[in-house]
Amino acid sequence: MKSYRKDLWFNTAKRREYINITSQIKEALTESGIQEGFILVNAKHITASVFINDDEAGLHHDFEVWLEKLAPEKPYNQYKHNGYEDNGDAHLKRQIMGREAVIAVTEGKLDLGPWEQIFYGEFDGKRKKSILVKIIGE
Amino acid sequence: MKSYRKDLWFNTAKRREYINITSQIKEALTESGIQEGFILVNAKHITASVFINDDEAGLHHDFEVWLEKLAPEKPYNQYKHNGYEDNGDAHLKRQIMGREAVIAVTEGKLDLGPWEQIFYGEFDGKRKKSILVKIIGE
Amino acid sequence: MKSYRKDLWFNTAKRREYINITSQIKEALTESGIQEGFILVNAKHITASVFINDDEAGLHHDFEVWLEKLAPEKPYNQYKHNGYEDNGDAHLKRQIMGREAVIAVTEGKLDLGPWEQIFYGEFDGKRKKSILVKIIGE
């Protein structure tokens, strides 16, 4: 069994952003030389997500509106977590969107459906944060 | 390390349906000959889910009512994604229900709890869509 | 390829609790002797979760309030699932919080971010329930 790991770093301009990382995950897979196996891609921070959905600006706008309805950022004092911090909402949004994606590797490629794109979802940005890519297989 | 992959196809009669796929996943595992490892089962379409919960009709009714409350299908114009499409709600419902399940394989069997059943959750059906089963192990 | 499995048991005093299981997962990893691979940690019951977030009491209070808003326990008769049971809400809460976490193993350690802690989330407790830890790798 082979394994490969890589950190990818982000520093978003806005508090909330969705970044398509599919090409960076493909690159990590190529570097690994693994032909058959699994890739785990997970946020290393607990106010961010890795998820798979459509690369469509209208949908990303819908995510923003929807997550703000389900777990609003403000008023900050609605969350007990917000003593020294103001990111209580980000911890909740990340539960909806998920921490990680596990993706099959087949014949050296990401085995994704026709519209599947991998995203980094940032809910408390404007600072350096990372995700982990770990690949196991042969 | 061995690996095995299989596509499973669905074409639901209704826009939203929950289909118990546990026996099909067992069959794929038997075909693989793998005794110890992991199975990844994921929707290949971004308006569908694979998730694990109870095979109980009342609960499935509750899912329908609950998801319609959290991310209603109509009015279609509430979602920016709905320019050429009408499935904005399905992209959101799938985030709640999840894209994938990873299941342990032990002694050649699905290592599931007493009530765990694997479901395909369709949120924008009436057309051919597939899921991926990928198994790695020995 | 090596593999290792272990059940961990819980019996919470309250209906809903969050228990930090990170040290128990580390212990299982040490027992496995695996240096590079993946750990799957999943609830075996469908009214419980395994998820990764912050070990902070304020946030856990926020989870309780938030999940009760999204999928309230009472009135029990709002859920069709609640014929012989009263845990319809727990099946829904578990969909938000997730069934499983997959964690990378690197150089014999859990490859977690600085604040990532692994939790057992119980939504219908006061009885014996278990989770599965399955590790594959080398």
Q: Do B61 and C80 touch (CB under 8 A)?
A: yes
pLDDT confidence bin for C77, thresholds 50/70/90: very high
The widest CA-to-CA distance across chain C, in whole angstroms, is: 51
Q: How many CB atoms lie within 10 A of CB A116?
A: 22
CB B83 within 8 A of CB B131: no
- Per 3-state DSSP, chain C is made up of helix, strand and coil in percentages (nearest 5) of 30, 35, 35
If one counts every other C-beta atom within 10 angstroms of the C-beta of residue B104, the result is 24
CA-to-CA distance for C41 and C50, rounded, in angstroms?
7
Would the CB atoms of C97 and A95 count as touching at under 8 Å? yes
Over residues B53-61, the mean pLDDT reads 98
Q: Which residue matches tokens 């009436």?
A: B126
| Rounded CA separation C42/C57 (Å) | 23
A100 interfacial to chain B (CB closer than 8 Å): no
Question: In Å, how far from its chain's centre is CA A109?
Answer: 20
Residue C84 has pLDDT above 90, yes or no: no
Averaged pLDDT for residues B83-98: 96
Tell me the whole-structure pTM to 2 decimals: 0.98
Which of B20, B41, B50, B62 to probe by mutation at the C interface, max C CB count within 10 Å? B62
| B34/B2 Cα distance (integer angstroms) | 7
Contact: B98, C95; criterion CB under 8 Å: yes
Chain B touched by A95 (CB under 8 Å): no
Query: Nearest Cβ partner of B66 from C3, C71, C130?
Result: C71
Kindly indicate the confidence band of residue B136, based on its pLDDT and cuts at 50, 70 and 90: very high
Q: Does A4 touch chain C (CB under 8 A)?
A: no
- With a cut of 90, say whether residue A20 has pLDDT above it: yes
User: Chains touching chain B at 3 or more Cβ pairs under 8 angstroms?
Assistant: A, C
Chain C 34-93, residues with CB within 8 Å of chain B CB atoms: 38, 40, 42-46, 70-71, 79-83, 88, 91-92
H-assigned helices in B2-102: 22-32, 57-70, 88-97
pLDDT band at A48 (very low <50, low <70, confident <90, very high): very high
Q: What is the mean pLDDT of residues A14-36?
A: 98
DSSP E strand boundaries for B30-128: 37-43, 48-53, 100-106, 109-110, 117-122
> Which of C46, C93, C49, C95 minimizes the C-alpha distance to C70?
C93
Is it the case that residue A62 has pLDDT exceeding 90?
yes
Contact C40 B1 (CB under 8 A): no
pLDDT of residue B84: 86
- Does residue C20 surpass a pLDDT of 90? yes
DSSP states along A45-92: STTEEEEEE---HHHHHHHHHHHHHHS-S-SGGG-TTTTT-S-HHHHH
- Cβ atoms of B120 and B39 closer than 8 Å: no
Whether C104 and A40 lie within 8 Å, measured CB to CB: yes
